Amino acid sequence: MKKLWGGRFEGESQKWIDEFGASIEVDQVLAEEDIIGSLAHVKMLAKTSIILQEEADEIIRGLEILLVKAQKKELVFSIANEDIHLNIETLLHKEIGLVAGKLHTARSRNDQVATDMHLYLKRQVGEISGSLMDLEKVILLKAEKHVETIIPGYTHLQHAQPISFAHHLLAYYNMFKRDLERYQDSLKRIDCSPLGAAALAGTTFPIDRLDTAEQLGFSSVYSNSMDAVSDRDFILEFLSNSSILMVHLSRFCEEIILWTSHEYQFVSLTDAFSTGSSIMPQKKNPDMAELIRGKTGRVYGNLFSLLTVMKSLPLAYNKDLQEDKEGMFDTVKTVKDCLNVFAGMLDDMIVHEEKMSEATTKDFSNATELADYLASRGIPFREAHEIVGKLVLKCLKNGNYLQDISLADFQEAAPIIQEDVYSLLESRVAVERRNSLGGTGFVQIRTELEKAKKECQLN
């Protein structure tokens, strides 16, 4: 079959080589962006008198027919036409005849494909940002219900100090807030038009790049044509931002998985977000959380794959760049799915407040309270630490806890200790009193919650 670029070729193309070189199976996702980009280009070609208005009108008519078909997923593509750009041009030719050949004046597939991807990613980052905001709201509404729910705070996965469950949830809110900021910041670079860079060096035609950029809704244009066609930083940045987002989802999932286990029993997931076992009738597994944790791997993989493709690429366009799409599409789908499933799962998650707070009553997570008690009464903190350490050791030997120690025994260890120590050893009091800026104290959390709700337009 004759190629659109086939003039200087004599040999027949071979199907298996065509198949290897083709990207249509992957890049057909960009059909609408490709047509929209072409519409802007052809309108500009007429405005600048590079082609006649009648010619442009005919091309526009054809492209609009194709756009409707693309929206209905009715376009039929062929591997022989290699990629989305040549497929659309071929279809346009079938629709309107020879005049279709004028569309590619002052343009190359190199600036065309880059334009398509900028358009695509701009829309997708907008949609992902929307899902992130929905998730933030779910977290805040949950946190609001659990300001006074006490849960062990862990370091090294060992009970450290009691905290408010809302504080734990708000930690994730802050991570997702940063994720959203990163995506929004990346828009500055995504929202930039490469169209008009042509193959790599610009063009001799009097094109108007600012016009096409404006038509396509881009707020800036690449200022160097070589950079415009070979830059994939904006995709790397998207993949990197998405990887960091997946870190957060995966950490949260890991915690939920732990919390649903028999050992914790802090939360339950609803049936909709769980699955059973084909052999063990009692099982209810947190599969969705595990799957999100697992899918983090492919998102990291997509980042590493493109970083590796880009490494050592000489300027400007190289066919290697065709490998930039699959991972980007996969990441878009994965991130969207994970965000939506996770938000639903969290929204439905049942919190067992009793179990959470119970876990802070028979432990030593109030040891810092006792050390602070001594330190605030003049004993140097290091000394206080040593005294409490010894008391913990004694309790471990006796099989009891700090709050079970008699006042006489306390005073033997440190005469300064009075009856008032007991109330401070209660986990709820310990949480409430940690009122330093950004701490887990209820006043701090309520302030943070109010701030966050404003950020999310929740009040």
CB of 286 to ligand ARG, least distance (A): 39
Instruction: Please give the helix or strand (H or E) that residue 394 lies within, else none.
Output: helix 381-398
Q: Considering the rule CB under 6 A, would residue 309 count as an interface residue with ligand ARG?
A: no
Active-site residues, by number, are: 156, 277
CB of 121 to ligand ARG, least distance (A): 14
DSSP 8: G
Q: Within 385-414, which residues bind ligand ARG (CB under 6 A)? A: none
What's the CA gap between 104 and 89, in Å, rounded?
9
CB of 275 to ligand ARG, least distance (A): 39
Structure tokens at 158: 């060992």
Q: Considering the rule CB under 6 A, would residue 33 count as an interface residue with ligand ARG?
A: no
Q: Considering the rule CB under 6 A, would residue 319 count as an interface residue with ligand ARG?
A: yes
Q: Considering the rule CB under 6 A, would residue 109 count as an interface residue with ligand ARG?
A: yes
Per DSSP, which regions of 327-451 are E strands?
350-351
CB of 87 or CB of 366, closer to ligand ARG? 87
CB of 320 or CB of 412, closer to ligand ARG? 320
The window from 51-59, 162-170, 313-321, 392-400 that contacts ligand ARG (CB under 6 A) reads 313-321
Q: Which residues contact 103 (CB under 8 A, 6 or more apart)?
A: 38, 41, 42, 45, 59, 89, 92
- List C-alpha distances in Å: 236 to 5, 71, 176, 308: 30, 28, 19, 11
Which residue has the closest beta carbon to ligand ARG? 83
CB of 59 or CB of 113, closer to ligand ARG? 113
Q: Considering the rule CB under 6 A, would residue 110 count as an interface residue with ligand ARG?
A: yes
What's the CA gap between 140 and 399, in Å, rounded?
40
CA nearest to 452, candidates 214, 138, 191: 138
CB 66 within 8 A of CB 36: no
Burial class from Cβ neighbours inside 10 Å (0-12, 13-18, 19+) for residue 15 reads exposed
CB 131 within 8 A of CB 228: no
Selected binder of ligand ARG within 39, 103, 113, 339 (CB under 6 A): 113
Q: Considering the rule CB under 6 A, would residue 235 count as an interface residue with ligand ARG?
A: no
Selected binder of ligand ARG within 29, 46, 256, 321 (CB under 6 A): 321
Selected binder of ligand ARG within 317, 401, 410, 442 (CB under 6 A): 317
Strand duo 350-351 + 267-268: pairing: antiparallel
CB of 82 to ligand ARG, least distance (A): 7
CB of 325 to ligand ARG, least distance (A): 6
CB of 255 to ligand ARG, least distance (A): 40
Phi-psi region of 438 (alpha: psi -120 to 50; beta: other; left: phi over 0): left
Q: Which residues bind ligand ARG (CB under 6 A)?
A: 23, 27, 83, 85, 109-110, 113, 317, 319, 321-322
